[in-house]
Structure 1
Amino acid sequence: MFQATMEAAQVGIFVLGGGRFIYVNPFICELFGYSAEDFQSRIGPLDLVVPEQHDLVREQMALRAAGVPGKAYELTARRQDGSLFTMSVLGMPATFGDLPVSVGTVLDVTERKNAERRIRELADFDALTGLPNRRLLHDRMAQMIASAERDGGTAALMFLDIDHFKRVNDSLGHSVGDDLLCALAQRYTGVVRRVDTLARLGGDEFIILLPDVSAASAADVARRVLEIAGSSFSVGGHELTVTSSIGISLYPQDGRDIDTLLKNADTAMYKAKELGRNTFQFYSREMNTATLERLMMESSLRHALTGDEFELHYQPLVCLRSGEIVGVEALIRWCHRDLGVIMPDRFIPVAEETGMINPIGDWVLFEACRQAQAWIDAGLSLRTMAVNVAPVQFRQAGFVEMVAGALGTTGLAAERLELELTERTVMHDAEFTLGTLSALNRMGVCLSLDDFGTGYSSLAYLKRFPVGKLKIDRSFIMDLETDADDRAIASTIVNMGSSLRLTVLAEGVETAEQLALLRQMGCSMVQGYHFSRPVTAARMTELLRDQPFRYEK
């Protein structure tokens, strides 16, 4: 019964005495590839393990012979064919007749060890790239900070984000995107030192921890990262070129804990993106202040419309021939309950990025049309209400219908509404733009090209677009008296507009000298502080009624 039990056991069982095997069961024979005769005649315990562990085996055999109970321990075993596996051995002292022996078991734990290693990898390493993941990154960061604090040293954290990575996933598929991330991880690994940590935070974001480095050294690493990532990749049959934006925070000046260093490096990375991408930026306190202000502004913007915090101011558009105010430009102001009046150059970019620009732009259009009709109903002369249109607003679905709705609701005649678009807005997807402009033109709405001369207008498209007015950008007007090049540009725009039968308006007119030069050039209309700053509707009512700039006065 004992022999049958031993032979049926699915675990290796042995009896060892005097350094030789007295008994082995069939499972051990199968596990190592030797016969029972081999074990009992020529194979000893040291033949079954790698040489580096012979001393450990001798020590354990001596302890069993001395009657000391054993505990399970692991060895790297070698089969007859030379292959290796991990085994767990447990031996206990016993006697066989008068001979002290060790009775023990052998288990192949290779699969278990592989599974444990895989679990550790899943817990600590990114499944795609094999780099440390967020969990292990936090451990390494804690060690880096503790070491720097103990030794009074410095450290750097670099936050890397791949520029426009979403385009790769959207156009070529996520499998190509994954392959690209793996290729980038390999290149980044070649840049860092052994003591550094390269981790994948998630998505297309990577972190590099640089212990014991100065700001100059961190900058050198950032330059190498940008350079090595800038060479083309061959991925999935495609030749791809990508760039990165990098933000760097330094310990201890930019933070003394993990969350602060990560947050500040992230802030610096977005600053690098704002500066054109494919560059790096160090964190600064001013940057953090700007970020906090932006977050507060973004949150407040969502309540500004419902809270009636927006109002329109108006700036006169003056006919250069008569001095009469023939139109006004509507300009939005945000009357924040805590921050006071906020100018559009501060909040419009935030509104565009958060998607708030469409409802804000729609409100501006409806309110401007309502005010224009109110002035007309009051018997005031007003030919034009000019309204700026943001690029995102212009490209939104149903924009033409929205304009028609504003006119229909307020009763304003279409020819009294003038929509101002920048060159860049008009030239983006020119064929689509042409269709929208044509629809507005058929409706009777006037169209004006704002900031003319600063973009990249094609004269061929300008000829096709139903634009009725060109606005010379203020950058060409501010030095008109002293800069011959500005005078030449302004004069050229006036002559071109005249040749194309377009009205030309110069904005930013602040001096009598500028006004005189524009009159000599034959410019049609002007606006600027020389006449009036943007004013409230009540003040604009007075200006329309009094017409203080008419020459006959």
Structure 2
Amino acid sequence: MVKRETDLFRATMDAAQVGIFVMARGRFLYVNPYMRSLFGYAEADFIERLGPYDLVVAEQHERIAEQLARRPGGGAVETTEFTGRRQDGSLFTMSVLGMPSRFDGRVVAVGTVIDISDRKQAEQRIRELADFDALTGLPNRRLLHDRIEQMLAAAERDKHGAALLFLDIDHFKRVNDSLGHSVGDDLLCALAQRYVKVVRRIDTLARLGGDEFIILLPEVNAAAAADVARRLLEIAASPFSVGGHALTVTSSIGIALYPQDGKDIDTLLKNADTAMYKAKELGRNTFQFYSSEMNMATLERLMMESNLRQALTEEQFVLHYQPLVSLQNGEIVGVEALIRWLHPTLGTIMPDRFIAVAEDSGMINPIGDWVLFEACRQAQAWIDEGLQLRTMAVNVAPVQFRQAGFVEMVAGALSATGLVADCLELELTERTVMHDAEFTLGTLSALKRMGVSLSLDDFGTGYSSLAYLKRFPVGKLKIDRSFVMDLESDADDQAIASTIVSMGRSLRLTVLAEGVETAEQLALLRKMGCGMVQGFHYSRPLAAAEMTELLRRQPFLHRD
């Protein structure tokens, strides 16, 4: 009777179209043919040799151990999903259901294994249809709303800005009407593939419907949002080959910023849509901010950045020079080189309008290198003419100073122009010097060993440590113009300027006051014991030819 029951059990299990197993002490005692074929092992490989750990990916072994620990008999009472690993290494999703039982007088676990990969793929497809656009594969309107809510919640929590871009393809209806909807659909897919290359991993590119796309940009400011919009326009500019047709398309983009243009989904979408229509009114193939004031500021910045890249190659930069005058006798002992941008249509652009843009766009290094080489060249030209010039002072931007190879670049400029090192004075702001003071000390020391003079610009506006100031090989302190401007009437400015002069003299440093415009300021500085000045009282910055004449005449010598 027992044999007949056993034979009946095996015949039934062998015919089953699900995997069936009997397991004890972590090893399989029986597996049916379906389970063997499911994992690709022969019966001899399974029995008493393999256990559940051998059939599941390593990342899920801890889950198996937890279940076995809770059920000393090896059984399970709930269905659990695992990632199965076949003998050939391929993976699939399986559902495992087990329960305790007895087999040949032993406590065992009897269970089933079902391959649910098809069901999982179907569920994933259902989710994709619910959350993603069927044509382009991008997030659809439903998922977009979820992403916007997450972005706004994070922006409010972390006090970050964010941007929403509303992009609409210009004249897309013409493509559908003239070439058919299938070509239009292929064009939308091709555009989506290009747009994906522009956004970051934390951004969201979604298709709102038709030819409308939305781009969510968390943790960005207006300039960064404008840069993304510009690149979206550029990347779509080259022709597409779709359905045997060469097509060129443009788009219009509206930008709404969080929180100034809206703090909720509906407001941001509405305002970005409004800005997009402004872009269309302006002729398409452009972008607009919802705020007109933002448009003006950002577009000017983008124009400045774009033109900066041409300015160097087209030789639009020039240097002007302002004399550095000794208060001992009125001699012009040096000059400070000051850059000017001679724009072909905008005229002369002063550095306070473009230096910050150059720093943010990465252009400050090549511009700064050009200034250094040109200043050294001009200084040597004056010396070759027999003019007395002890110092050519050149401002160094923080980013330029911290670039790799800065010391070598300075050495190259001196070598290429023939200027002796002690004629060159590099001006660094107090903040530049104090940023990573130990690194700065090494660079300054290398420059000093080369023979280059060093000056601390804008002194008094930063946060210098006197201990570091004592260690830095600086030869000159420049009193910032903000302390000189009201020197005649402001007792605090007088006290600050006098303190800087006294400090400099105590440390055996030359002190120069910049921004000197009146005889009264000059008299006070001379009384304090200030050694040098520069400013409009003596001369505005001059072009090289005018500065040549001033150096030749020395008109301030023994004048005061």
Q: Does the TM-score normalized on the shorter chain lie above 0.5?
A: yes
Please say if 1:118 is aligned against 2:112: no
Q: What is the CA-CA distance between 1:137 and the residue it aligns to?
A: 4.5
Which of the numbers 267, 273, 282 marks the counterpart of 1:256?
273
| Separation (CA, whole Å) in 2 of partners of 1:315 and 1:120 | 72
Q: Which residue of 2 aligns with 1:530?
A: 537
| Separation (CA, whole Å) in 2 of partners of 1:550 and 1:289 | 48
Match of 1:500, as an amino acid? Answer: L
Q: Which residue of 2 aligns with 1:184?
A: none
Q: Is the 8 A contact 2:512 2:532 kept in 1?
A: yes
Q: Secondary structure at the match of 1:249?
A: coil
Q: Is the 8 A contact 2:430 2:463 kept in 1?
A: yes
Q: What is the CA-CA distance between 1:298 and the residue it aligns to?
A: 1.4
Match of 1:302, as an amino acid? Answer: R
Q: 1:520 to 1:259 in 2, by over 3 A?
A: same
| Separation (CA, whole Å) in 2 of partners of 1:257 and 1:349 | 31
Q: Secondary structure at the match of 1:392?
A: helix
Q: Which residue of 2 aligns with 1:545?
A: 552
Q: Secondary structure at the match of 2:273?
A: coil
| Separation (CA, whole Å) in 2 of partners of 1:351 and 1:330 | 18
Please say if 1:369 is aligned against 2:376: yes
Q: Which runs of 5+ in 1 are unaligned?
A: 1-7, 11-80, 84-107, 127-132, 145-155, 166-200, 208-244, 263-281
| Separation (CA, whole Å) in 1 of partners of 2:415 and 2:118 | 75
Q: Is the 8 A contact 2:501 2:528 kept in 1?
A: yes
Q: Secondary structure at the match of 1:490?
A: helix
| Separation (CA, whole Å) in 2 of partners of 1:350 and 1:290 | 12
Q: 1:162 to 1:469 in 2, by over 3 A?
A: farther
Q: Is the 8 A contact 2:130 2:142 kept in 1?
A: no
Please say if 1:341 is aligned against 2:348: yes
Q: Which residue of 2 aligns with 1:321?
A: 328
Percent of aligned positions that are identical: 68
Please say if 1:456 is aligned against 2:463: yes
Give the aligned length. 348
Q: Is the 8 A contact 1:160 1:205 kept in 2?
A: no
Match of 2:475, as an amino acid? Answer: G
Q: Which runs of 5+ in 2 are unaligned?
A: 1-14, 18-76, 80-113, 161-198, 206-256, 280-288
Q: Secondary structure at the match of 1:438?
A: helix
Please say if 1:469 is aligned against 2:480: no
Q: Is the 8 A contact 1:420 1:448 kept in 2?
A: yes
Q: Is the 8 A contact 1:315 1:330 kept in 2?
A: yes
Q: What is the CA-CA distance between 1:246 and the residue it aligns to?
A: 4.3
**Alignment RMSD, CA only?**
4.0
Q: Which residue of 1 aligns with 2:28?
A: none
| Separation (CA, whole Å) in 2 of partners of 1:546 and 1:123 | 83
Q: What is the CA-CA distance between 1:203 and the residue it aligns to?
A: 3.6
Q: What is the CA-CA distance between 1:295 and the residue it aligns to?
A: 1.4
Please say if 1:397 is aligned against 2:414: no
| Separation (CA, whole Å) in 1 of partners of 2:326 and 2:370 | 28
Q: What is the CA-CA distance between 1:517 and the residue it aligns to?
A: 0.7
- The equivalences for 1:349-498 within 5 A come to 349-498=356-505
Q: What is the CA-CA distance between 1:82 and the residue it aligns to?
A: 12
Task: For residues 365-413 of structure 1, give each alpha carbon's deviation from its aligned partner in whole angstroms, at most 9, with x where no partner exists.
Answer: 0100000111111111111000000111111111111111111111111
Q: Is the 8 A contact 2:511 2:532 kept in 1?
A: yes
Q: What is the CA-CA distance between 1:284 and the residue it aligns to?
A: 2.8
Q: What is the CA-CA distance between 1:205 and the residue it aligns to?
A: 4.8
Match of 1:548, as an amino acid? Answer: P
Match of 2:303, as an amino acid? Answer: M
Q: 1:533 to 1:552 in 2, by over 3 A?
A: closer
| Separation (CA, whole Å) in 2 of partners of 1:421 and 1:164 | 33
Q: 1:309 to 1:258 in 2, by over 3 A?
A: closer
Match of 2:121, as an amino acid? Answer: A
Q: Which residue of 2 aligns with 1:307?
A: 314
Match of 1:118, as an amino acid? Answer: Q
Q: 1:482 to 1:552 in 2, by over 3 A?
A: closer
Q: Is the 8 A contact 2:274 2:290 kept in 1?
A: no
Q: What is the CA-CA distance between 1:202 and the residue it aligns to?
A: 5.7
Q: TM-score normalised to the size of structure 2?
A: 0.55
| Separation (CA, whole Å) in 2 of partners of 1:353 and 1:337 | 23
Q: What is the CA-CA distance between 1:115 and the residue it aligns to?
A: 3.4
| Separation (CA, whole Å) in 2 of partners of 1:299 and 1:246 | 26
Q: Is the 8 A contact 1:157 1:261 kept in 2?
A: no
Q: What is the CA-CA distance between 1:475 and the residue it aligns to?
A: 0.9
Match of 1:249, as an amino acid? Answer: D
